[in-house]
Amino acid sequence: MARFSLDEISDTGAFVRSASTFRNWISRDLNSQFPPESGRYHLYVSYACPWASRCLAYLNIKGLNKAISFSAVKPIFERTNESDDYKGWVFPESETEVPGAEPDMLNGAKTIRELYEIASANYTGKYTVPVLWDKKLKTIVNNESSEIIRMFNTEFNSIAENPTLDLYPTDLKPQIDDTNEWIYTSINNGVYKCGFAKKQEPYNEAARQLYGALDKCEDILSKQRYICGNTLTEADIRLFVTLIRFDEVYAVHFKCNKKLLREYPNLFNYTKDIFQIPGISSTVNMEHIKLHYYGSHPSINPFGIVPVGPNIDYSAPHDRERFSA
């Protein structure tokens, strides 16, 4: 039987995310099984998924669109029957069925699950996105977004349109790693620990950590343009994908309602700033995002009703230029 995130609950009622499974690396090393070749790789994403969206953001801002193709699935998980088994991420049957989603033209797969089964007949884990696919070997290279973005940052520079953009510069690596750690634990994964908790105490603890981390971000961003200084880094992209979903989804669906993103002046303007970087806004499909969260977790939202608001305009002016050098 297939598993997905809502199944990953500990005996205490807390959400505990399992690790990704496919961890191969695209490398410029001469002996690499997966060299960085133009046209060889394909990225499967869901616009709804923050982990997949950060990979898509890298594809755009590094200028890898011509070297690496991508396609998106339908926004809502589909189930096979009334039991807990499910299809998960599903491809549309035609390009017009769901705007923004596309049929799988590479393998003829109906679901992301089928791609995992092509790559490994004995696979028993979750069928998640993103999936970085090797067209030549017909297998999954990697399904861990934190590693995929590192590959996109450095290994394809010979064929990237923006090869000099380095979102993980050597002098900032320790700071980025430290920032990623607390942001992932308390914010990226923290909203899920709030939303998927099945007992009050783990929810309370997750909410405490979430808002402590958001307060920390607000303070940092009162002094500098980006989360690790006045230079855009990997940590900003990783934080952004959660923030852009916060008021539209997490505040309601995951019970993260103590304080809205719009009530944090620096965080809210920062989110607009990142959204307006060329190549970022096209990775944000709010219709897919809302349809997925409100429609894919029947134990949380049994009737699948999607709230009408708040419809925030992230293209509106912000004040972050005040930190420009």
Task: Say if residue 138 is in the same domain as residue 234.
Answer: no
217 is catalytic: no
pLDDT string in tens for the chain (325-residue length):
445 555 656 677 665 645 557 889 999 998 999 999 999 999 999 999 999 999 999 999 999 999 999 999 999 998 765 555 668 999 999 999 999 999 999 999 999 999 999 999 888 888 999 999 999 999 999 999 999 999 999 999 999 999 999 999 999 999 999 999 999 999 999 999 999 999 999 999 999 999 999 999 999 999 999 999 999 999 999 999 999 999 999 999 999 999 999 999 999 999 999 999 999 999 999 999 999 999 999 999 999 999 999 999 999 999 999 997 5
> What letter represents residue 271's amino acid?
T
For residue 97, the domain's CATH number is: 3.40.30.10
What number of CA atoms fall less than 13 Å from residue 286's CA on the CB side? 19
Estimate to the nearest angstrom the gap between the alpha carbon of 153 and the chain centroid: 16
Interhelix angle 234-245/50-61, nearest 10 degrees: 130
Residue 24 lies in a domain: yes
Count the Cβ atoms, other than its own, within 10 Å of residue 120: 14
Residues 6+ apart with CB under 8 A from 171: none
Which one of 127, 155, 183 terminates a domain?
A: 155
Task: Say if residue 122 is in the same domain as residue 193.
Answer: no
pLDDT of 1: 45
Measure the CA–CA gap between 233 and 222, rounded to whole angstroms.
17
Residues 6+ apart with CB under 8 A from 273: 225, 318, 320
Strand pairing class (41-45; 131-134): antiparallel
Residue 292 lies in a domain: no
Known binder of ligand: residue 144? yes
Which one of 121, 155, 189 terminates a domain?
A: 155
Task: Say if residue 16 is in the same domain as residue 145.
Answer: yes
The backbone torsions φ and ψ at residue 90, rounded to the nearest 5 degrees and listed phi first, read: -125, 140
The backbone torsions φ and ψ at residue 179, rounded to the nearest 5 degrees and listed phi first, read: -65, -45
Task: Say if residue 77 is in the same domain as residue 217.
Answer: no
Known binder of ligand: residue 145? yes
Residue 179 lies in a domain: yes
Residue 325 lies in a domain: no
For residue 267, the domain's CATH number is: 1.20.1050.10
Active-site position among 58, 86, 116, 192: 192
The backbone torsions φ and ψ at residue 4, rounded to the nearest 5 degrees and listed phi first, read: -145, -175
Domain, as residue range, for 222 = 172-278
Strand pairing class (78-79; 86-88): antiparallel
To 5 degrees, how large is the angle CA 310–CA 45–CA 134? 170
Task: Say if residue 20 is in the same domain as residue 137.
Answer: yes
Task: Say if residue 177 is in the same domain as residue 135.
Answer: no
Residue 112 lies in a domain: yes
Task: Say if residue 38 is in the same domain as residue 151.
Answer: yes
Task: Say if residue 118 is in the same domain as residue 237.
Answer: no
Active-site position among 49, 55, 194, 256: 49
Cα separation values, 70 from 19, 101, 109, 132, Å: 23, 11, 14, 9
Residue 52 lies in a domain: yes
Known binder of ligand: residue 128? yes
Known binder of ligand: residue 182? no
Total domain count, the chain: 2
Q: Which of 319, 213, 219 shows the shortest CA–CA distance to 270?
A: 319
Both tokens of 90, joined, read: 């599903």
Q: Which of 254, 296, 246 shows the shortest CA–CA distance to 275?
A: 246
Q: How far apart are the first and last CA of the chain?
A: 54
Residue 186 lies in a domain: yes
Residue 313 lies in a domain: no
Strand intervals (E) in 126-210: 131-134, 139-142
Measure the CA–CA gap between 141 and 42, rounded to whole angstroms.
10
58 is catalytic: no
**Rg of the chain taking only CA atoms, in angstroms:** 19
Task: Say if residue 20 is in the same domain as residue 108.
Answer: yes
Task: Say if residue 129 is in the same domain as residue 191.
Answer: no
Task: Say if residue 219 is in the same domain as residue 102.
Answer: no
Cα separation values, 301 from 106, 195, 245, 249, Å: 34, 11, 17, 12
Known binder of ligand: residue 129? yes
Task: Say if residue 74 is in the same domain as residue 151.
Answer: yes
Q: Which of 255, 261, 267, 244 shows the shortest CA–CA distance to 207?
A: 255
